[in-house]
Amino acid sequence: MPLNIIGSMVLEGPEVIRGWEYIKYYGPIVATVGALKYYFRGTTNTWERDLHGKVYIITGGTSGLGASIVDELAARGAQLILLVRSTNDYWLAEYIQDLRDKHKNFLIYAEECDLSSLHSVRKFATKWLDNVPPRRIDGVICTASETLPPYKERQNTIDGIEIQTAVNYVGHYHLLTLLTPSLKAQLSDRDVRVLLTTCLSQAMGQLDINDPLYLNKRYPKSHPWTVLGTAKLQLGLFAKEFQRRLLETPRKDGAPINIRVNIINPGTMRSPSTKRVLSFGSILGLFLYLLILPILWIFFKSTTQGAQSFIHTLMSPDFVNLDGGNFISNCSIYKPARKEFDDSELQKTLYDNTAIAIAKVEKESAVKRKRNELTEKQAAEAKGNLPKVEEITAEKSKPNNINAIQVKKNKDKVPLFPGFDTDNGSLQKENSKIKSTSTKSKTSGKSKKSKKL
């Protein structure tokens, strides 16, 4: 049948094909759209690697880019630990169960680690490090992000840090620096890879190494992407300095450093963050976003396509022999245009200033947290829900009669297994005393009778 059609087209021309008028008109348009879509989808990863038994920590793994990466890794059998704001979430439980059922992988868990709270990050890191022997970790994948639409007021975290800076930069900085002992404690033959996420906004960042937490600068409502770009720029500079310090610290066993830190640019995607920015965070903006969605479908990647560079960096053996601190996009290494990435002294200063600022903010937040706890306790005491401090002190000053009551109960208690019941050891001694006393009384009674006789 196809040969007949082709033969007719050759002999009589393409007009013999039914619907040729529509094909001639719409064909070039469809072909052009298909070619553009194919070009902008980016490169697909071609490396494969067995991930069974490997453990990865992932931030932002419940939506957008992170969810696509989680789906890819779960399909390959990796053990995944998703860091989330709260584990007390029915939707989260359903999400993890669906992943387990879909991939027959039951090694998917969630741990509470809110990147917008320095205290939450420290609690998770402390719990992770408080384990002997050290817990296995093959990689940390940082995809969590926070973007604000234009003309919205500044949003601060509980620590007073601007929200985009806190989630995109400070939270990941705090997490990785706290987990450094765990990363260094991995076996020498273990390939540990740390992946950070950057984006196009990095080119618009305005660096201020004296205020890395964005505590004092005025928030630009009309162009908040500069704040996001600054956070991504600082994250990239931190990655290069973090990798440098890891390589400069030798292992105790003399083996080569096996930790590699790289920065991934997934490209422009149709992600929840993109939708929030383009819709201006409003209903009308969302309607306009839906109108231009067909155009975005052509020129913007899906989150699955954006995840390919992450999968490539995890799978490819080439990154084992590289020093780290590389920028990857479309499954290949590229050099960023910002000159700050060539200034190692600037990177070191930013790293140290961020550590000092985080320590200061953490102390202030701890003081506020203790004050709030004390205020809440006093309020509860005023309502009568809790005993007052004076009552607790008076109660403690009373003589302790608990032991006497317990002894009295033990005297009346008959053990099930007297010879083996260790809890009734005192009772056994009491019984032996009673027996000896009764024996003495009987003996004394007999002696009195003999005297009378």
pLDDT one-digit tens code per residue, 141-157 = 999 999 998 888 899 99
- Tell me the mean pLDDT in the region 132-148: 93
Helical H runs in 179-271? 180-184, 225-248
Output the DSSP codes for 125-155. Answer: HHHHHS-SSPPP--EEEE-------TT----
- Confidence band of 122 (pLDDT split at 50, 70, 90): very high
* Domains in the chain, CATH or no CATH each: 2-40 (no CATH), 55-266+301-362 (3.40.50.720), 406-443 (no CATH)
Looking at residue 430, its pLDDT comes to 47
Residue 111's DSSP bridge partners are 83
Helix or strand (DSSP H, E) at 83: strand 79-84
The pLDDT value recorded for residue 394 is: 55
Q: Is the dihedral angle over the CA atoms 304, 69, 192, 201 positive or is it negative?
A: positive
Least-confidence region, from 151-160, 262-271, 386-395, 442-451 = 442-451
pLDDT at position 1 is 56
- Please tell me which of 364-368, 401-405, 426-430 the model is most confident about, judged by mean pLDDT: 364-368
Which helix (H) or strand (E) segment is 349 a member of? helix 344-383
Q: Is 333 helix (H, G, I), strand (E, B) or coil?
A: strand
The one catalytic residue in 24, 217, 232, 339 is 232
Mean pLDDT for 193-217 is: 92
Predicted pLDDT at 2: 66
pLDDT at 449: 41
Average pLDDT over residues 174-198: 94
- Out of 213-217, 276-280, 328-332, 362-366, least confident range: 276-280
Q: Which residue has the higher pLDDT, 164 or 410?
A: 164
pLDDT of 214 over the 50 cut: yes
Residues 190, 258: contact at Cβ < 8 Å?
yes
Average pLDDT, the chain: 84
Q: Which pLDDT belongs to residue 234?
A: 96
User: What whole-number distance in Å separates Cα of residue 353 and Cα of residue 362?
Assistant: 14
Q: Is residue 232 among the annotated active site residues?
A: yes
Distance, in Å, from the CA atom of 67 to the CA atom of 82, rounded to the nearest integer, reads 10
Confidence of residue 411 (pLDDT cuts 50, 70, 90): very low
- Match 């082709």 to its residue by tokens: 6
With 80 as the cut, is the pLDDT of residue 356 above it?
Answer: yes
For residues 291 and 44, what is the distance between their CA atoms, to the nearest angstrom? 29
Radius of gyration for the chain, computed over Cα atoms and rounded to the nearest angstrom: 34
**Stronger pLDDT, 2 or 309, i.e. the higher one:** 309
Evaluate if residue 421 carries a pLDDT over 60. no
Across the range 369-375, mean pLDDT stands at 87
Among residues of the chain, what percentage have pLDDT more than 70?
82
pLDDT over 90 (residue 281): no
Whether residue 103 has pLDDT greater than 50? yes
Phi, psi of 177 (to 5 degrees): -70, -35
Q: Tell me which H or E stretch contains 197.
A: strand 192-197
